[in-house]
Amino acid sequence: MIKYNIRGENIEVTEAIRDYVELKLSKIEKYFSEEVALSAKINLKVYKEKTAKVEVTIPLGNVTLRAEDISQDMYGSIDLVVDKIERQIRKNKTKIERRHREKVPAAHLFTEALVEETEPEAKVVRTKQVDLKPMSVDEALLQMELVGHDFFIFTDVESNETHVLYKREDGDIGLLEAK
């Protein structure tokens, strides 16, 4: 059984929305063994542009399932997020189970219903060497746009630390700073 923590930003979480979220997310319970206590954090946001964003986070020990969707329809976004979570479970079942067993050796995280749905593991098919040149964030952004990638790795000229610029789904730019 999943323990739900549903929160709304700029929206009142009505009983209808709460019931819909719980109904849709309950679909993933079939993948997990009964001894696993699941908790899901669901964040519902509505923006001024009348767009709805749904974020779902499900911690599983040392692995976290997370998905989000932004659209004009809150209920449609809920459906898409649940589909994304299901895909993550099917695609990464073996890796998640292995990491869970390292923490709790005798426990089984997933039910046998998931075995035949498991997709093959992804593998590294290409390795590329990158020369990390010192540059400012603005220079790195320009370089990222020039090469046409969704991300760019560089050394910050001021701190001499490695950073990664990346394009977010909403079209903005994110910056990852290594510690």
Tokens (6 digits) for 112: 């046998």
Residue 83 belongs to some domain of the structure: yes
Same-domain status, 8 and 40: yes
Q: Are residues 164 and 109 in the same domain?
A: no
> Is the residue at 126 inside a domain?
no
User: Looking at the domain assignment, is residue 122 inside a domain?
Assistant: no
Are 155 and 161 a contacting pair, CB within 8 Å?
Answer: yes
Cα–Cα distance measured from residue 78 to residue 74, given in angstroms and rounded to the nearest whole number = 6
Whole-model pTM?
Answer: 0.61
Which pLDDT score is estimated for 105? 46
Q: Show the beta-strand stretches assigned E in the chain.
A: 2-9, 38-46, 52-60, 63-71, 134-135, 151-156, 162-167, 173-177
* Angle, vertex CA 160, rays to CA 154 and CA 163, nearest 5: 35
Number of domains in the chain: 2
Phi, psi of 149 (to 5 degrees): -100, 165
Please check whether residue 94 lies inside any domain of the structure: yes
What pLDDT is stored for residue 18 in this prediction?
Answer: 93
Distance CA 23, CA 138 (A): 45
| Domain-terminating residue out of 67, 82, 117 | 117
Give the CA count within 13 Å in the CB-facing half-sphere of 96.
23
Residue pointed to by tokens 């700073």: 177
Residues of the chain under the 50 pLDDT cut? 105-106, 115-118
| Alpha carbon distance 4, 111 (integer Å) | 21
* 141 and 167 co-located in one domain: yes
For 88-137, the pLDDT digits (tens) are 887 777 777 666 555 554 455 566 555 444 456 667 888 888 888 899 99
Residue 38 maps to a domain: yes
Last residue of a domain, one of 91, 117, 143: 117
| CATH number of residue 99's parent domain | 3.30.160.100
